[in-house]
Amino acid sequence: MSHITRKKLSLRQEISSYFTTLFNRAAFALIGYGKKLINWYEVRYQKQYWNTRIEQVVPTFPKGLQASAKILLQNQASVFIQGTYHYHGTNGGNSPTSITPMNDALFNIVVKVIRKLPVLQKIIAIQPMQGPVGLIYQMRYKMQENSPDLVAPQITTDPSARRISLNIISQAVEAGTRKLQAGWSLEAMQDTYASHEIDLEDELSTVMADEIFHEIVMEVLADLGRIGFKRQANLQTEDGTYYNKDVAASLYVQINQAMNEIGRRSRRGVGNYMIVSPTTLVFLQLNPSITLKKTEGSHSNRSLALSHDYDIVYAESGRKIAVLTSMFLDTDNQSQERIIVGYKGGNGECDTGYFYSPYIPLMSSGVVINPTTFQPVISLMTRYAKSWFGKDQEGFMGAGSEDYYCELTYSLDPNPAVNTSQEETA
């Protein structure tokens, strides 16, 4: 082979190698751009899908909850969309427009939980967060500077007299977490559907929604009892008779005293609701001086954790006291019953003392099969914040969150060892 021929072959090899390398680089670039395009298309589709679901669901909530529900569902959808990159092509086929069944199930659970929030909204403020750190707002009275501290309010034209102003103050909160785990048997799922045509997955979602709501209510009731001022009802009788109309009337009078004390402390209004156990509710029904009026839709979305079934309405003054029942008003002493009295204003979600701020209703790592029992297990996590305001010395009038709530206890023992009227100021 001549020198010229070898040189031509070498040149051809170099050209071939050059174009091969160029083609490979172009192919890898196209593959990368293709993946980005598929991810972009899927994210776009998921945004459209979840926005449509949200727009369909939000109008079904009560008007006072629709704004909060929309924020919560948008937060939940953002978690699903962020997970698109991690779960692409799984749990729903290889189609770039697949919506994972797990996300659909979680969305349905979140909707069921939100439907239960209106009863909780009657006793506390619900201010959803739009990020892991947010602000909550409360309505507070503030003393103006250089105002004398008068013993009692007076009508005067003196410019140096005490003046107050109404302010909205804010406080930063950070989302925490709460975990919940549920498991079920594949055999039970198959058997219940074959025998009774019961969809165990739907039943499980309902149970999990109830349990999540129960966890929220138990935590809120524990906090209200802890931060509120304390009172012990005196229900001693001379003849030893306990469950009668006179004792029931005495209990209601002391509940009203606690409500009036809330008004004196908070300067926002007297207590307008009470949370009682079913036992206390039956006890109050013995009082002939009040009428418990059944609320409309009492049994819709009713929960053992917290339900609003009755109101006490005064026809002459128009005053209405909401009577809510809960199975979770437990005390350390089994012979005692607990009543929580509180105030929640009607001016939005700022006029109260306790604030619940949900962020992401549900997050899940997916279904995991237990290697020992071969049963599917799902682990869930919810992110939320809670806050209340304490007393301060920066000109705000003395009311703190503790002045919006009272924990009233009374003994179920007809002859208690200690059952005297007392009050612990915060």
9 occurs within a structural domain: no
Going through 116-190 in order, the beta strands assigned E by DSSP cover 125-126, 133-143, 164-174, 176-183
pLDDT at 34: 67
Beta-bridged to residue 385, according to DSSP, are 357
Give residue 405's domain range. Answer: 120-129+174-424
pLDDT at 297: 60
Residue, of 100 and 401, whose pLDDT is higher: 401
155 occurs within a structural domain: no
135 occurs within a structural domain: no
Residues sharing a CB contact under 8 Å with residue 251, sequence separation 6 or more, in sequence order: 233, 235, 280, 283, 284, 287, 410
- 60 and 179 share one domain: no
**Which DSSP string corresponds to 6-50?**
HHHHHHHHHHHHHHHHHHHHHHHHHHHHHHHHHHHHHHHHHHHHH
Average pLDDT over residues 295-309: 71
Predicted confidence (pLDDT) per residue in 350-405, tens digit: 888 899 999 998 887 667 777 777 777 777 888 999 988 876 644 445 568 888 99
pTM (two decimals): 0.77
Q: Both tokens of residue 56?
A: 């369909």
- 78 and 195 share one domain: no
Predicted confidence (pLDDT) per residue in 101-110, tens digit: 778 888 988 9
- 331 and 384 share one domain: yes
- 124 and 66 share one domain: no
pLDDT at 169: 78
Q: Percentage of the chain with pLDDT > 70?
A: 68
Q: Both tokens of residue 381?
A: 């996590």
Other beta carbons within 10 Å of 182: 14
pLDDT at 82: 79
- 178 and 83 share one domain: no
Domain count of the fold of the chain? 2
Tell me the C-alpha to C-alpha distance, in Å, between residue 305 and each of 69, 120, 222, 330, 337.
21, 10, 13, 12, 16
- 242 and 383 share one domain: yes
Other beta carbons within 10 Å of 205: 19
**pLDDT grade, residue 296 (50/70/90)?**
confident
Average pLDDT over residues 283-289: 86
pLDDT at 54: 93
104 occurs within a structural domain: no
- 45 and 124 share one domain: no
- 248 and 293 share one domain: yes
In the predicted structure, residue 53 carries a pLDDT above the cut 70: yes
Residues sharing a CB contact under 8 Å with residue 26, sequence separation 6 or more, in sequence order: none
Beta-bridged to residue 334, according to DSSP, are none
162 occurs within a structural domain: no
Average pLDDT over residues 281-291: 86
- 274 and 415 share one domain: yes
- 346 and 201 share one domain: yes
Predicted confidence (pLDDT) per residue in 150-177, tens digit: 444 444 455 555 566 677 778 888 888 8
Q: What is the dihedral of CA 87, 93, 99, 104, to 10 degrees?
A: -90
Burial environment of residue 360 by CB neighbours within 10 A (0 to 12, 13 to 18, 19 or more): buried
- 304 and 399 share one domain: yes
- 59 and 179 share one domain: no
Lowest mean pLDDT among 8-12, 103-107, 279-283: 8-12
pLDDT at 221: 92
In the predicted structure, residue 244 carries a pLDDT above the cut 60: yes
How many residues are recorded in the chain? 426
- Tell me the HSE value of 387 on the side-chain side, using a 13 A CA sphere: 24
Beta-bridged to residue 143, according to DSSP, are 164
In the predicted structure, residue 419 carries a pLDDT above the cut 60: no
Predicted confidence (pLDDT) per residue in 14-49, tens digit: 677 766 777 777 777 767 666 666 677 778 888 888
Query: What CATH number does the domain containing 404 carry?
Result: 3.90.1690
191 occurs within a structural domain: yes
